Amino acid sequence: MTIRNLDKLFAPKSIALFGASDKEGSVGKTVTDNLFNGGFEGPIWLVNPKHKEINGHQCYRNTKHLPEAPDLAIIATPPKFVPDLIADLGDKGTKSALVITAGFRQQNLTQKMLDASNPHCLRIVGPNCMGIMIPKIGLNASFAHSMPLKGDLAFISQSGAMISAVLDWATGKDIGFSSMVSIGNMSDVDLGDILDYLAGDNETRAILMYLEHVTDARKFMSAARSAACVKPVIVIKAGRHAEAAKAAHSHTGALAGSDAVYNTAFHRAGILRVLDLEDLFDAAETLNRLKPITGDRLAIVTNGGGAGVLAVDRLIDFGDSLAATVRS
């Protein structure tokens, strides 16, 4: 497990967008507009050999023509160009890349991309992802339709559509986020890496996840345990039934696995599992509204003796202390 160079993803000082465009309806245009409209204060360099400028912003021909190595490269080009772009970025000194482009499995390009990145320890999120949004620094490196409000909840998702759904709901409820991360096919940076980074992120008070499968179980469990020890971690896991697991396989290209195994893993890691979006939204709203409780002494107020005794038993199970019982 490593969070090496993930600071360049979550807190970049400069950004380059490959595949920038002014074509209406294109991913390149949407990401271009989002980057400039998000409020990011560092330099944003656009790269597209077909343009000299886009919307009044200079456009560079390729990586070599950039003024310096960007902390974060966003790639929205056709997939066949991505391995060479990663190699060029690594040579220039870039340490993180967000690959929005899809279609890698069909063209067997994933390993070529990783081979190009590994010598430089260039971390890659994606491919086939919506992007990442960090409201505090004005970073909207995605093709989402809006920016989340500022807050202290983090949301990690293996589905871009789920990012959109949570974003729409949260904005209407005035709930903000420290980050929203669409991780796509997880060719390099995976759930374990992101969990490990967010566990140590002072801007994040709780972590929400939508997942369909885990690629590295050992790394995921280690990161999940560490994160759940310091902040709430809540997950909605798709593919509980065989039919849904097949649908998840067609979506992400990976098998969802036995749901009983996931249930056990979540329990051992200290992760709270919810079963539907309504429960995930309720959990997010509860975490957003309630302030963290400090101390380990709890008073139990009850109108039934049996219920109070059960509550005390459960409290002790969790290793906490009873301050007082109040009898009605």
pLDDT values of the chain reduced to their tens digit, one per residue, 328 residues: 489 999 999 999 999 999 999 999 999 999 999 999 999 999 999 999 999 999 999 999 999 999 999 999 999 999 999 999 999 999 999 999 999 999 887 778 999 999 999 999 999 999 999 999 999 999 999 999 999 999 999 999 999 999 999 999 999 999 999 999 999 999 999 999 999 999 999 999 999 999 999 989 999 999 999 999 999 999 999 987 765 455 544 544 444 458 889 999 999 999 999 999 899 999 989 988 877 667 777 888 888 889 888 988 988 888 888 886 555 5
CA gap 233, 226 in Å, rounded: 10
244 Rama sector, left if φ>0, alpha if ψ -120 to 50, beta otherwise:
alpha
Is domain 7-128 in CATH 3.40.50.720, yes or no? yes
Q: Is 98 within 8 Å of 121 (Cβ atoms)?
A: no
Whether omega for the bond prior to residue 78 falls within 30 degrees of 0, making it cis, is no
Which class does domain 151-289 fall in?
A: alpha beta
Residue 251 has a pLDDT of 46
Query: How many Cα atoms within 13 Å fall on the side-chain side of residue 150?
Result: 8
Give the DSSP letter of residue 294: P
3 state SS of 317: helix
- pTM, full prediction: 0.86
CATH 3.40.50.261, the chain: domain bounds: 151-289
CA gap 227, 266 in Å, rounded: 12
Treating both helix axes as pointing N-terminal to C-terminal, what angle do 277-289 and 160-172 enclose, rounded to 10 degrees? 50
CATH 3.40.50.720, the chain: domain bounds: 7-128
Two structure tokens written together for 225: 């345990």
Q: What are the residues facing 153 on neighbouring strands?
A: 177, 206
Residue 117 has a pLDDT of 97
Residue 243 has a pLDDT of 57
Give the DSSP letter of residue 271: P
State the amino acid at position 295 in one-letter form: G
